[in-house]
């Protein structure tokens, strides 16, 4: 995934901000807004965590995407997959070990200090027990 004028590369994290919410809906749902520091000049990474601690009921296979939007920063397209998926009825991870490693997707997005980034989640199915959503941005 490439954003900006140059290919993104992993960089040491200087700043990191995040928002979180509990979500049950299978629609584009606001998770929160991140306001970057006034010294911010470049978004270097994004990450989204989907966690289901409660039991999933039958036919609630769970996966999804997170989306970023802003009036201050040009972001399209800014939709990324969550890093986990759950099978129905068991709450078990699919193709991920039980202590899944959080990863940051490298991006290279120039920003103005103090920019506001709106964060959204979109699950593939509505769930009976709320899923925990965490969306984060790393920047310098």
Can you give the pLDDT at residue 85? 75
Across 21-43, average pLDDT: 93
Is 139 a residue whose pLDDT tops 60?
Answer: yes
Please give the Cα distance from 114 to 81 (Å, whole number). 26
Q: What phi and psi, each to the nearest 5 degrees, are found at residue 2? A: -125, 125
Is 65 within 8 Å of 101 (Cβ atoms)?
Answer: no
Supply angle C-alpha 37, 43, 136, rounded to 5.
Answer: 80
Q: What confidence tens digit (pLDDT) does each residue in 74-127 have?
A: 887 789 988 877 776 555 555 444 555 568 888 888 899 999 999 999 998 888
Q: What confidence tens digit (pLDDT) does each residue in 48-70 have?
A: 988 876 666 666 778 889 999 99
């Amino acid at each position: 995934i490439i954003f900006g004028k140059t290919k993104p590369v992993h960089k040491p994290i200087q700043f990191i901000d995040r928002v979180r919410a509990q979500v049950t809906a299978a629609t584009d749902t606001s998770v929160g807004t991140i306001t970057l520091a006034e010294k911010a000049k470049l978004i270097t990474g994004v990450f989204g965590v989907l966690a289901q601690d409660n039991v999933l009921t039958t036919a609630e296979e769970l996966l999804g995407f997170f989306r970023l939007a802003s009036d201050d920063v040009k972001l399209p397209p800014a939709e990324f997959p969550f890093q986990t998926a759950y099978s129905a009825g068991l709450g078990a991870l699919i193709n991920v070990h039980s202590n899944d490693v959080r990863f940051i997707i490298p991006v290279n997005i120039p920003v103005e200090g103090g920019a506001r980034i709106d964060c959204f989640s979109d699950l593939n199915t509505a769930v009976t027990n709320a899923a925990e959503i965490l969306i984060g941005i790393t920047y310098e």
